[in-house]
């Protein structure tokens, strides 16, 4: 199975910035459940995460909320934490427009495609306790293990707003 051009682009950016990662290619996965069934998220100091691409009630603000894979995100609580109006999941069209990915490939690394830095990124505070996170390189046929601090650094360096929140 070969990685998509989008995935290769992400790896090139990480290599250029000298950000270390471990890459594992696999059959496409679309949900956390599929990833767990295939046993793809095993790392002694790491955790997988769910990526929720949300929009506010007016559709003017967009958010990428990242939570532990085993955690349910209460959108009312998220809304209060990020100081937003009503939240809902953004459409496939918005996902493509802002992050240039399709459902099943959502990743914090999609931020690299957000050229206008319109998407606000929020990580659940629980993720701070893990040294590594599993993320897609904008391609659901591969999983990268990266240091959590490197992932946060690349988001901030790109120019998107970033904050830790309690979910």
Q: Which domains does the chain have, with CATH numbers?
A: 5-165 (3.90.960.10)
Is 88 in contact with 78 (CB distance < 8 Å)?
A: no
Is 20 in contact with 114 (CB distance < 8 Å)?
A: no
pLDDT digits (tens, 9 = 90+) for 131-165: 999 999 998 888 999 999 999 999 999 999 999 99
E-state strands within 61-167 = 62-68, 87-89, 119-124, 132-135, 142-147, 162-165
**pLDDT level of residue 114 (50, 70, 90 thresholds):** very high
pLDDT digits (tens, 9 = 90+) for 54-92: 999 999 999 999 998 888 889 999 999 999 989 999 999
Is the overall model pTM greater than 0.85, yes or no?
A: yes
Q: Is the model's pLDDT at 38 over the cut of 90?
A: no
The span from the CA of 94 to the CA of 96, in Å, is 5
What single string gives the DSSP state of each residue in the chain? Answer: ----HHHHHHHHHHHHTT--EEEEE-S---SHHHHHHTT----TTEEEEEEEEEEETTSS-EEEEEEETT----HHHHHHHHT-SSEEEPPHHHHHHHH---TT---GGGGGG-TT--EEEEEEGGGGG-SEEEE-SS-TTEEEEEEHHHHHHHHHHHT--EEEE--
């Amino acid at each position: 199975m070969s990685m998509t051009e989008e995935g290769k682009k992400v790896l090139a950016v990480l290599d250029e910035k000298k950000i270390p990662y471990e890459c594992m290619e696999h059959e496409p996965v679309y949900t956390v459940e599929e990833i767990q069934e295939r046993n793809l998220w095993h790392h002694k100091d790491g955790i997988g995460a769910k990526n929720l691409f949300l929009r506010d009630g007016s559709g003017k603000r967009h958010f990428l909320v990242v939570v532990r894979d085993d955690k349910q995100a209460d959108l009312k609580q998220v809304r209060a934490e990020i100081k937003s109006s009503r939240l809902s999941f953004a459409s496939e069209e918005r996902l493509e427009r802002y992050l240039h990915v399709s459902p099943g490939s959502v990743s914090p690394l999609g931020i690299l495609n957000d050229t206008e830095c319109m998407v606000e990124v929020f990580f659940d505070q629980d993720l701070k306790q893990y040294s590594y996170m599993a993320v897609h390189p904008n391609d659901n046929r591969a999983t990268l293990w990266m240091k959590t601090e490197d992932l946060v650094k690349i988001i901030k360096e790109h120019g998107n707003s970033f904050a830790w929140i309690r979910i």
